Amino acid sequence: MTARINEPGEIRLTAANGKTCGLRERCVEFEGYDVTLSFFAASPELVELLTGNDGYFDAQGNVKGWWDTTIRCRGGIAIEAWADMSEDVACPDDEDEGEGVWFYFLLPWLTNGRLGDLTLGDDGVTFTYTGRTKRASRWGVGPWNDVDRDENGDPGPLLQPVPEDAHRGGFPTTVAPPEAECTYLDVPCESPESPES
């Protein structure tokens, strides 16, 4: 991930004699992240979701490939990831509630998704995906109860909604990642209740 930073510079007021009589530094603006992901295996469903490209379907209507078409700039996706944390890094309190400790990572809105370098070989297909984050994701607390633990220790969604201006976030959790799926999943239209509501 590479941060997109706008550095507008400074406003310098110069007198007729060439001396600086005023200087105002303008604030640096954070615009988000350019994201590049490398894939060594992926389903056609994932490619379609990442890029918004049209799928190629078999005779039964199952997606089995894709067509590179346009770059989707209005829609987008969210990416959640869980990374196993070593026991040396995990806090002792974290291990009490579950069967391990993971680092939960969220990109709540990725857009402008496109496939980059694609390599076909005897051992499969590898490709890169490039996108960029946007703010105002409407992710809320997320659609599933698989992220953090509530006050009773039960698996639940995020404990607070994603902030309006957030581009990414993450934290340690004792909630195990969900089982991998290689097909489409229905996303609930309404997020679970936020603990703050």
The secondary structure of 20-88 as a DSSP string is: EEEEEEPPPEEEEEEEEEEESS--HHHHHHHH-PPEEE-TTS-EEEE-------S--EEEEEEEEPPTT
Q: Count Cα atoms within 13 angstroms, Cβ side, for 23.
A: 4
The pTM score is 0.76
Long-range Cβ contacts of 68-73 (<8 Å, 24+ apart): 68/115, 71/112, 71/113, 71/114, 72/111, 72/112, 72/113, 73/111, 73/112
pLDDT at 189 over 70: no
Highest mean pLDDT among 19-33, 36-50, 167-181: 167-181
Name the phi and psi angles at 189, rounded to 5. Answer: -70, -30
How far is Cα 158 from Cα 164, in angstroms, rounded to an integer? 14
pLDDT at 27 over 70: yes
Overall average pLDDT of the 59-83 stretch: 87
| 3-class secondary structure, 93 | helix
Q: How many C-beta atoms surround the C-beta of residue 133 within 10 A?
A: 24
Domain boundaries, given as residue ranges, for the chain = 2-12+21-173
63 versus 192: which is more confidently predicted? 63
List CB contacts of 33: < 8 A, sequence separation 6 or more: 1, 2, 3, 4, 107, 132, 133, 167, 168
Number of H helices, E strands in the chain: 2, 12
pLDDT at residue 157 in the model: 93
How far is Cα 156 from Cα 195, in angstroms, rounded to an integer? 9
pLDDT at 146 over 90: no
pLDDT at 93 over 60: no
- Write down the mean pLDDT value for the chain: 84
